[in-house]
A and B are shown apart, each in its own frame.
Chain A
Amino acid sequence: QSALTQPASVSGSPGQSITISCTGTSSDVGTFNIVSWYQQHPGKAPKLLIYEVTKWPSGISNRFSGSKSGNTASLTISGLQSEDEADYYCCSYAGSNTFVFGGGTKLTVL
């Protein structure tokens, strides 16, 4: 298993939309529609934003949305807010009851 590939950093201005990519392989992202996304603020535990590529757990804003094409999953944040500044991680099922995380992306709100 290799970690999924995410950009190290992305940035955007308040009100804008940004997209974070998560690239895997045909052994994980490309085969399974089981991708999760997490938000993590400094010193805090991760927070589940999206599961099964596009679904929201309770209490999560629909400003966060997920999608997938081929071996790449994406998280889009619309109407960017200052509190969205955080680290974001993707996670994909990799078969045989295992899963793998991405390396993380630091979002800066300008």
Chain B
Amino acid sequence: QLQLQESGPGLVKPSETLSLTCTVSGDSISPTKFYWGWIRQPPGKGLEWIGSIYYSGITYYNPSLKSRVTISVDTSKNQFSLRLTSVIAADTAVYYCARPHSPSRVYGDFFYWGQGILVTVSS
């Protein structure tokens, strides 16, 4: 059974960089043909797609976050990671990593999800 687990600091200071890692178990990131994604949810609000990465390193980002986001993959560790720079209070959210139902496509149909990690931006 595929499992995803987010890890990283729960508290980040304004203007600093948020860094999270998603560890995948039960399947290999490479060479399965999926676009692994990051999604976030501010407290009490809706879902927002951050970006997705293919095992080969191809990335696609939400245009509204693109200037601050980098998603990378480490197939040797079966992990993929998120970096969000210059964070502000509005970046406070539960951050989820997820894998889609459909391979080889960025369709937003995420079937497997991590439990989520709350990241608070505060000094």
- CB-CB nearest in chain B for A59: B111
A45 contacts which of B52, B60, B106, B115 (Cβ < 8 Å)? Answer: B115
User: Is B60's CB under 8 angstroms from A34's CB?
Assistant: no
Q: Are B107 and A93 in contact (CB under 8 A)?
A: yes
Known: A1-B62, A1-B64, A57-B101. A51 touches B109 (CB 8 A): yes
B116 to chain A, nearest CB (A): 6
Q: Out of B46, B102, B114, name the residue touching A51 (CB < 8 Å).
A: B102
The answer on a CB contact under 8 Å between A104 and B47 is yes
**Chain B: residues with CB nearer than 8 A to chain A?**
45-49, 52, 60-64, 96, 98, 101-102, 106-111, 113-116
Contact (Cβ within 8 A) A38 B47 = yes
A57, A93, A104: the one within 8 Å of B108 (CB): A93
In Å, the complex CA distance between A97 and B66 comes to 13
A64: chain B residues at CB < 8 Å are none
Task: Give chain B residues whose Cβ lies under 8 Å from the Cβ of A1.
Answer: 62-64
CB<8 Å pairs between A and B, sample of 12? A36-B109, A46-B96, A48-B101, A52-B109, A57-B101, A57-B109, A98-B61, A98-B62, A99-B107, A99-B108, A101-B47, A101-B108
Instruction: Tell me whether A101 and B46 are in contact (CB under 8 A).
Output: yes
For chain A, residues 1 to 51, give those with C-beta under 8 angstroms from any C-beta of chain B.
Answer: 1, 3, 34, 36, 38, 45-48, 51
Find chain B residues with CB under 8 A from A34 CB: 107-109
Per-position 1/0 for A90-104, Cβ under 8 A of B: 011100111111111
| Tally of A interface residues using CB under 8 Å | 25
Q: Which one of A34, A38, A45, A92 has the highest number of Cβ atoms from chain B below 10 Å of its Cβ?
A: A45
| Interfacial chain A residues near B115, Cβ < 8 Å | 45
Closest 9 CB pairs of A and B: A99-B108, A51-B109, A45-B113, A97-B60, A91-B108, A97-B106, A104-B46, A101-B47, A36-B109
Min Cβ gap A58→B in Å is 9
Given contacts A38-B47, A89-B47, A100-B49, contact A46 B110 (CB under 8 A): yes
Q: Establish whether residues B60 and A98, one from each chain, have CB atoms under 8 Å apart when the complex forms.
A: yes
In the bound complex, residues from chain B placing their C-beta under 8 Å from that of A93 are 106-108
